[in-house]
Amino acid sequence: MKKKTLTQTLCAAAVTAALASCASSRQAVTLNDLQGEWDIIELHGTVVVPAEGQAFPFLGFDATGRVYGNAGCNRITGAIDPKAKPGTIDLSRLGSTMMMCSDMTVERNVLTALGEVKQYRSLGNGQMALCGNSKNPIVVLQKRK
């Protein structure tokens, strides 16, 4: 293979990988873009379906870095660093109330997934991806209207 063709191929592969990653600068957003309330619609590629009689899980973010929401059964509260580098977020220290519900499956899955989040990016169409250390979304959020 010619040196020029090999170089072009390697450059194209590097650009493709960068654009596909969760931390891609092309899709990087600031914490201001997270403000408001978001339904948690997907966890690890699986659509979220709350148990009968339980609330739909959601997260809310305000300008001061306060995080609040519901994991399906219990309320979520905590804070993020409002001065964090764009595209990075740490949700591992969120707390929740400790009520017991008849089905804790969604609750456990939401709290576990949020603990893995390290990055975020816009997916467009009012959706946000929360990712770990890979390009694959751990959590997909849909902006509430």
pLDDT tens column, 64-116: 999 999 999 999 999 999 889 999 999 999 999 999 999 999 999 999 999 99
User: 31 falls in which pLDDT band (50, 70, 90)?
Assistant: confident
User: pLDDT tens digit string along 122-140?
Assistant: 999 999 999 999 889 999 9
Percent of all residues in the chain with a pLDDT value above 70, rounded to a whole number: 81
Say if CB 35 and CB 63 are below 8 A apart.
yes
How do the domains of the chain map onto residue ranges? Answer: 3-143
User: 18 falls in which pLDDT band (50, 70, 90)?
Assistant: very low
H or E element, residue 17: helix 3-20
Block residue for tokens 């010619």: 2
pLDDT beyond 80 at 8: no
H or E element, residue 107: helix 105-115
Block residue for tokens 């250390």: 133
0.75 cut: is pTM over it?
yes
Q: What angle do CA 55, 116, 118 make, to 5 degrees?
A: 110
Determine the pLDDT at residue 22.
62
What would the CATH number be for the domain defined by 3-143? Answer: 2.40.128.270
